[in-house]
């Protein structure tokens, strides 16, 4: 299908108008892909990637379209729609548009998911710190933390933040050479260049970067030769004060990598993403629903968020499934529909909430102190470590903000953070403490 070379004035004006009135994601997902195929006295022919985009446009903008686009004598829009032939590797719906955008930076072809930007990343207590650090790096590459090491379980937004840093630096520092790569792709690159005898060229390429974003470094484990090559490149970049950001499914200390490599990862800031609390999950669901043009009542969002708690990707999958059903069945979202469509996904009962009280009891039991000791200000050694352990476990297991956790101890959130850091570093050197903490964790079931 040929696309109009000359942009339709009327359509451009409508786009300008709509862009100011919807979120950037909604615009990118729904409106930007529409093309004017023909403009004549009879009206416009618009090409849409799929039927959902047409429905979205008519449902949300019919009145506005009538103001901008030509009308027939009966007052109806003089617009026809045609569906674009699917492109080979493209998904057939705009619901999950994960296509990659290429941002031109000098000599580097940066591939980033266009939806993974800071604006689309919903903040809550579980990710606020990491997001701020990421924004800090994006605004001042190489001037804040280097490297930034982001770790957390699968589906919590590591790749999203990594790409968001890439987008933001690409926009604000246009002359910097940025590369965003998965560890697997790095290894493949290296294998290819070994085969083609172009290792020197590859090394030169990486060592001339200004910003290196590396996803899923855990795949470097057990790849001895590659690890060494990576470590050399890492050092070369850091020594030239080039920014590095790394993501991983575990903290550096748990990686089966050489001491040298682990130490390098810990040079800068190590920051953890944890599963979002209930309110944040609800906000994520509602944001994702909104960008897909799905109206999701608050109770429905709570119903789903109470049952999917550990993985944002699953929340997103739920919204995608519901959006598709609502469009196909032309119906609005009800709790019955949620149960019918998401049945399997929701089979887990709401996760048992671990309370701070349960943690107090389990820790007191393991360390043989009184629960009241854990809440006092006593600074004796016998009490300080158990109290800090309780804070550490509360941060890990209780789905509340640090401020709320702090108030259960009569402390501020920064005391909790300090305690957690202290325990984290002690665990590494003190196997007995690590075992005690494990026992307390296991003992929790008894008190929940």
Q: Using CB under 5 A, list all residues that contact Mg ion.
A: 158-159
Q: Which of 207, 313, 418, 426 binds ligand ADP (CB under 6 A)?
A: 313
- Taking the C-alpha atoms of residue 137 and residue 143, their distance in angstroms, rounded to an integer, is 7
The one of ligand ADP, Mg ion, none whose footprint includes residue 391, by CB under 5 to 8 A per kind, is: none
- Taking the C-alpha atoms of residue 32 and residue 215, their distance in angstroms, rounded to an integer, is 29
Q: Which of 160, 173, 264, 307 binds ligand ADP (CB under 6 A)?
A: 160
List the structure tokens of 338.
Answer: 């949620």
CB nearer to Mg ion: pick between 161 and 261: 161
The one of Mg ion, ligand ADP, none whose footprint includes residue 224, by CB under 5 to 8 A per kind, is: none
What values do phi and psi take at 38, rounded to 5?
A: -155, 140
Closest-by-Cβ residue to ligand ADP is 157
Q: Give the ranges where 69-127 is alpha helix by DSSP (H).
A: none
Site for ligand ADP in 282-301 (CB under 6 A): 284
Q: Which of 52, 61, 68, 121 binds ligand ADP (CB under 6 A)?
A: 121
* Nearest approach, Cβ of residue 430 and ligand ADP (Å): 30
Q: Which of 154, 194, 263, 371 binds ligand ADP (CB under 6 A)?
A: 154
* Nearest approach, Cβ of residue 442 and ligand ADP (Å): 27
List the structure tokens of 178.
Answer: 């940025």
Do residues 79 and 11 touch, judged by C-beta distance below 8 A? no
User: Which segment (32-40, 257-265, 298-306, 309-317) binds ligand ADP by CB under 6 A?
Assistant: 309-317
* Nearest approach, Cβ of residue 154 and ligand ADP (Å): 4
CB nearer to ligand ADP: pick between 154 and 371: 154
What values do phi and psi take at 221, rounded to 5?
A: -65, 145
The one of ligand ADP, Mg ion, none whose footprint includes residue 384, by CB under 5 to 8 A per kind, is: none
What is the arrangement of strands in the sheet containing 269-272, beginning at the earlier edge strand? 178-182, 211-215, 243-248, 148-151, 269-272
Site for ligand ADP in 78-117 (CB under 6 A): 116
From the CA atom positions of the chain, what is the Rg in Å?
A: 26
Please report, for residues 219, 305, 386, 425, the alpha-carbon distance to residue 422 in angstroms, rounded to integers and kept in the order given.
Answer: 29, 33, 12, 5
Helices and strands: H and E segment counts in the chain? 19, 10
Do residues 371 and 414 touch, judged by C-beta distance below 8 A? no
* Size of the residue set binding ligand ADP (CB under 6 A): 17
- Taking the C-alpha atoms of residue 98 and residue 113, their distance in angstroms, rounded to an integer, is 6
Q: Which of 29, 50, 159, 291 binds ligand ADP (CB under 6 A)?
A: 159
Residue 318 interacting with ligand ADP (CB under 6 A): no
User: Which segment (58-66, 312-320, 334-342, 408-416) binds ligand ADP by CB under 6 A?
Assistant: 312-320
CB within 8 Å of 27: residues ≥ 6 apart: 18, 19
CB nearer to Mg ion: pick between 161 and 369: 161
The one of ligand ADP, Mg ion, none whose footprint includes residue 127, by CB under 5 to 8 A per kind, is: ligand ADP
The one of ligand ADP, Mg ion, none whose footprint includes residue 160, by CB under 5 to 8 A per kind, is: ligand ADP
Choose among 155, 157, 158: nearest CA to 311.
Answer: 155
Residue 156 interacting with ligand ADP (CB under 6 A): yes
**Residue showing tokens 């997001």:** 131
* Nearest approach, Cβ of residue 273 and ligand ADP (Å): 7
DSSP string, 150-189: EE-STTSSHHHHHHHHHHHHHHH-TTS-EEEEEHHHHHHH
Residue 127 interacting with ligand ADP (CB under 6 A): yes
* Residues making contact with ligand ADP (CB under 6 A): 116, 120-122, 127, 152, 154-160, 284, 312-313, 316
């Amino acid at each position: 299908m040929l696309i109009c070379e000359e942009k339709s004035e009327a359509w451009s004006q409508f786009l300008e108008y709509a862009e100011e009135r919807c979120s950037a994601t909604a615009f990118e997902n729904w409106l930007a892909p529409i093309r004017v195929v023909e403009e004549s006295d009879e009206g416009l022919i618009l090409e849409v990637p799929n039927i959902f985009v047409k429905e979205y446009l008519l449902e949300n903008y019919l009145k506005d379209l009538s103001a901008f686009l030509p009308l027939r004598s009966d007052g109806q829009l003089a617009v026809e729609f045609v569906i674009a032939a699917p492109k080979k590797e493209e998904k057939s719906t705009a619901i999950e548009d994960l296509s990659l955008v290429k941002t031109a930076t000098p000599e580097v072809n940066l591939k980033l998911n266009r939806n993974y930007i800071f604006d689309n990343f919903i903040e809550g207590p579980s990710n606020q710190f990491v997001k701020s650090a990421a924004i800090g790096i994006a605004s001042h590459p190489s001037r804040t933390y280097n490297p930034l090491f982001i770790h957390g379980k699968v589906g919590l937004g590591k790749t999203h933040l990594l790409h968001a840093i890439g987008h933001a630096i690409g926009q604000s520092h246009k002359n910097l050479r940025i590369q965003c790569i998965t560890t697997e792709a790095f290894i493949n690159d290296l294998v290819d260049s070994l085969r083609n005898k172009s290792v020197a060229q590859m090394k030169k390429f990486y060592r001339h970067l200004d910003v290196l974003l590396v996803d899923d470094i855990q795949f470097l484990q057990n790849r001895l030769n590659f690890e060494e090559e990576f470590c050399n490149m890492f050092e070369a970049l850091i020594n030239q004060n080039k920014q590095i950001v790394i993501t991983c499914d575990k903290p550096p200390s748990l990686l089966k990598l050489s001491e040298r490599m682990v130490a390098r990862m810990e040079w800068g800031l190590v920051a953890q993403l944890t599963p979002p609390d209930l309110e944040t999950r609800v906000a994520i669901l509602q944001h994702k629903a909104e960008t897909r043009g799905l109206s999701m009542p608050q109770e429905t969002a709570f119903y789903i968020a109470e049952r999917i708690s550990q993985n944002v990707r699953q929340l997103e999958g739920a919204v995608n499934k519901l959006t598709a059903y609502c469009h196909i069945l032309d119906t609005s979202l009800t709790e019955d529909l949620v149960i019918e469509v998401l049945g399997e996904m929701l089979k887990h009962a709401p996760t048992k909430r671990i309370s701070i009280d349960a943690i107090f009891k389990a820790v007191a039991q393991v360390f043989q102190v009184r629960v009241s000791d854990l809440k006092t200000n006593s600074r004796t050694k016998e009490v300080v470590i158990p109290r800090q352990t309780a804070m550490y476990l509360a941060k890990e297991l209780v789905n509340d903000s640090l401020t709320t956790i702090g108030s259960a101890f009569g402390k501020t959130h920064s005391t909790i953070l300090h305690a957690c850091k202290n325990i984290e570093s002690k665990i590494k050197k003190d196997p007995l403490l690590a075992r005690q903490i494990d026992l307390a964790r296991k003992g929790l079931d008894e008190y929940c």
